Amino acid sequence: MSTLIMGVVNVTPDSFSDGGRFLDPAAAIAHGLRLRAAGAHLLDVGGESTRPGSERVDPAVEQERVIPVVQALAEVGAAVSVDTMNASTALAAVAAGARIVNDVSGGLADPDMLPAVAGTGADLVLGHWRGPSADMYAHAQYDDPVRDVLSELASRIEAAAVAGIPPARLITDPGIGFGKKGDQNWTVLRGLPRLVALGPRVLVGTSRKRFLAETLGLDQPDAQDVETRRDLATAVTSVLAAQAGVWAVRVHDVTATRDALRIAAKWEDEERWTSPTRSH
């Protein structure tokens, strides 16, 4: 199982997951190095929260947060992605050493994003997105979640091609939790093989998201060990996503997902080794 792990480095004061613990650049850099040491193949640095209900951040503020972190991590050899919806931030981050631009809006939030990235040579993550986080659930209306997500991502792939970005530089992300409620997320996850079949690499991020908490009852006032259990659920969904053929999974707890992927890979290796002689 060769699925990569993308570790999350939130340089924000209002992330739903880490609540500003890494807003200070030095703290964010140290956190990124810990994630890398734990087994992250990629580090995704973001300076704007995309949690439900969050408001947009001025690009200048976003860049003040992320560029020092991107540069420091890239200088020590880390493969860095920048999580941004702003073309100007994407350009600054690539100049500072980022290799991937992770745009959860798929280039829809900023019309300059696709042509800007086209000229850099960086890879681009096109997320499935129907509107800003402030009212994302108002857009959670689907005739068929899998078909609709596939169709809308296909249109973004076409837009990227027109802008000069070939499929080899593209990564698609079904936007789990973005403009999707509850079971809509599970439906999209079950459809991952169809997304993989589109052609570009696929990134999946389920980490600590609300639909996992709802499934486990962790949204209840008396829930215990909420973060640990969300991370366990993330690791399980990461393994299932890997088995569906995704290129990478984006997670907060790298260790839990690393271990889960290793165990799943060992299981699959043993299955391949024993299956030729198994009696039926």
Q: Token pair of 80, please?
A: 């860095």
Catalytic residues: 209, 250
Residue 17 CB neighbours (<10 A): 17
* SS3 state at 253: coil
Environment class of 163 (CB within 10 Å of its CB; exposed 0-12, middle 13-18, buried 19+): middle
Q: Could you tell me which of 128, 211, 234, 237 has the C-alpha nearest to residue 175?
A: 128
Provide Rg for the chain, Cα atoms.
18
Torsion of CA 260, 261, 264, 268, to 10 degrees: -170
Q: How many CA atoms lie within 13 A of 213 on its CB side?
A: 19
How far is it, in rounded angstroms, from Cα 32 to Cα 136? 29
Q: Token pair of 258, please?
A: 């690393």
How far is it, in rounded angstroms, from Cα 87 to Cα 126? 13
* SS3 state at 141: coil
